[in-house]
Amino acid sequence: MRKHSGPPAPGQDPAGGRAGKGTANQTLALAAMLFAVSMTFIDQTIVAIAAPSIIDELGLSASGMQWVVNAYLLSLAAFFALGGRLADIMGHRRVMLAGTLVFVVSSVLCGCVPTGEFAQAWLIVFRATQGFGAALLFPAALAVVISVFPVERRGRALALFFGLSGALTAVGPLLGGWLTDWTWRAIFWVNVPVAAVALVLAALARIPEERRRERLDVPGAVLVAVGMGLSVLGFQQASAWGWSSAATWACIVGGLAVLAVFCRYELGVAEPLITLRVFRDRAFTVDSLVLFFAMTAFVPVFFFASVYAQVSLSASPNQAALYLLYFFIGFGIASQWGGRILDRRGARPAMKLGTALGAVGFALWAGKLTDLSIHDQWPYAALVGAGIGFLLAPASTDAVNRSIGASYGEVTGITQTLRNYAASIGIAVFGTVLTHVTTDKVVETLTSKGVPAGPAREAARSVAEAVTGHADAEVPGGDGRIATLMRDSMDAVRTDFAEANQWVFNGMAIALGVAFLCSLWHPGTRVTADTATDTPAAPGPGPDPKPRAPEAG
């Protein structure tokens, strides 16, 4: 059976770190970990702004570009639990350094992708290795923060860690817009100086190394990676294979079946990759569900909103970045309030408010997409950002506080795996919806303008695949009259693309609505510093025995 920590020894905090570590050490360690994880968050969003430029230069299809975005998220989800366990077994500082190196080398190789027939495969492979590096880096970095801060200061440190790391997704679009004006390859190379700062600060912080003598659950790691990969492949390829295709459903059902086998296997292993008994804590289960449904919209919205801005609004990459800035203004303000609500009343009020605002914001934003005006949409983008800001840090922190014994890395592995898997599914599903709806609407528009059905269908497929504002240069026109009709129809086609995005944004509103319903199930209890330290974790199976202070809300 897995061994759990008992009560802290004198002079030692419950995470295993020595009490009274110098403030400078704590500050440097927190700064180093924030610089390190900033790369992983920035890379979730920075590629979205550069997507049209990458498509143009490398000749990728829309499906191929979605895989470039999704390969990172899927790899991050598939290997996050493995990264957390490796950090426990091999040492948090060592795995954090290894993850940083894997991430930054992969980033350089992504920026060096050659043009030609191997470009798409090259970019997808090294985006996946980037995700693997992030999966090693993030749980180890979180464990470092927990180990160097005593429990009475850990809540503030974790709030800063989750709040700033979440807010750093705002840097991605802004930085991406500026760098893409120079070259889109720089969006990957910018990770090099950030990694260098993180490594230097980590060395100066003198972070202690801690390990646990346990075996690595290799079969579990393989099962979870295969299950997630197969299911997301099915969702992603549904636009190309069709929802009636046996291959589509074989991947989706097969992947979910493998994940079910993984769960059953983990319950019977002495030292599992993921300790599933934490889900016996109802509050933790609700935190996880809220994060899952919220993340199906949070990361995908950057990709779809960026492409919408550059296609339907004819915005430049910099303008598209500013369009997304409205979201982050709301996010930044609300995340501060969300942290205060968590401290005073627990996670449930913050999650209820955040999911409700997010659902309403997405629905209102969807209704404004066809106005084709950036300035008319900013209040709704800000409202969506505020909704996500209210719920993200409280749900994440509440889940971490409900860890089993001292195994914060395990619990973070679960929540982050769910978050990134949800983001992968969101991009895959909403991308499929966008492709199908765009194709149908463009066919209808072109035929109404006098384009014959055959060329109209071929043109519509090309527009949906290209997902750029230059579809008139890529669709075959037959004779000159048809080519002219198609060029004259491009304004209407951009409106069609906006209408197709309404389906996506309404889908995101539904996802946040489901998250709101889940938040109502939260018991309203919360973990405080006193309850976290007064009672040690029980070594045997069963729900987390820490007492909770009941909290109305």
| Residue 539, pLDDT score | 35
Residue type, 321: A
Is the pLDDT assigned to residue 368 strictly greater than 90? Answer: yes
Residue ending a domain, choose from 205, 232, 251:
205
Residues 174 and 52 in one domain: yes
pLDDT tens across 466-503, in order?
Answer: 543 333 334 444 444 444 554 555 677 788 889 999 99
Residue 374 lies in a domain: no
Q: CA-to-CA distance for 31 and 40, rounded, in angstroms?
A: 15
Is residue 8's pLDDT more than 90? Answer: no
Question: Residue-wise over 87-98: b if at least 16 C-beta within 10 A, else e?
Answer: bbebbbbebbbb
pLDDT in tens, 248-285: 999 999 999 999 999 999 888 888 888 888 888 899 99
What pLDDT does residue 474 have?
Answer: 41
Q: Per mean pLDDT, which range of 124-133, 393-402, 449-458, 502-511 is the poorest?
A: 449-458
* pLDDT value of position 295: 93
For residues 40 and 189, membership in a common domain is answered with yes
Domain that holds residue 227: 216-270
Contact 155, 25 (CB under 8 A): no
CA angle (90 as vertex; 89, 92 as ends), nearest 5: 100
Q: In this structure, how many other beta carbons lie within 10 angstroms of the beta carbon of residue 549?
A: 11
Task: Quote the pLDDT of residue 20.
Answer: 41
| Residue 44 falls inside a structural domain | yes
23-40 residue pLDDT tens: 447 888 888 998 888 888
Do 103 and 191 lie in one domain? The reply is yes
Q: Report pLDDT for 219.
A: 93
Domain CATH number, residue 186: 1.20.1250.20
225 with 198, same domain: the answer is: no
> Tell me, what's the pLDDT at 409?
60
Asked, for residue 300, whether it belongs to a domain, the answer is no
220 plus 149 within the same structural domain: no
Closest by CA position to 287, among listed 390, 394, 157: 394
- The segment with the largest mean pLDDT, out of 17-21, 331-335, 515-519, is 515-519
Asked if 264 and 140 sit in the same domain, the reply is no
Q: Which of the listed residues 205, 228, 255 is the one where a domain comes to its end? A: 205
Token pair of 547 as six digits:
């007492």
Over range 143-148, report the average pLDDT. Answer: 82
39 in the same domain as 171: yes
Domains held by the chain: number: 2
> How far is 106 from 103, CA to CA, in rounded Å?
5
How would residue 152 be classed by pLDDT, with cut points 50, 70 and 90? low
The total number of residues shown for the chain amounts to 553
Q: Which of 367, 422, 359 is nearest to 391 (CA)?
A: 359
At 283 the pLDDT is 92
Tokens matching residue 100? 């940083």
Burial of 31 (0-12, 13-18, 19+ CB in 10 A): middle
Whether 277 and 284 have beta carbons less than 8 Å apart is answered as no
The angle at the Cα of 296, spanning 553 to 77, to the nearest 5 degrees, equals: 105
- Mean pLDDT for the stretch of residues 122-148: 89
Phi, psi of 263 (to 5 degrees): -60, -45
Which token pair is 158? 């974790």
Q: In this structure, are 196 and 59 located in the same domain?
A: yes
Between 30-44, 305-319, 445-459, the lowest mean confidence (pLDDT) is in 445-459
Measure CA of the first residue to CA of the last residue in the chain; give whole Å.
37
DSSP-derived letter for residue 20 is T
149 and 259 in one domain? no
Would residue 304 count as lying in a domain?
A: no
- Taking a C-beta distance cutoff of 8 angstroms, is the pair 334, 514 a contact? no
pLDDT of residue 77: 77
Check pLDDT > 50 for residue 532. no
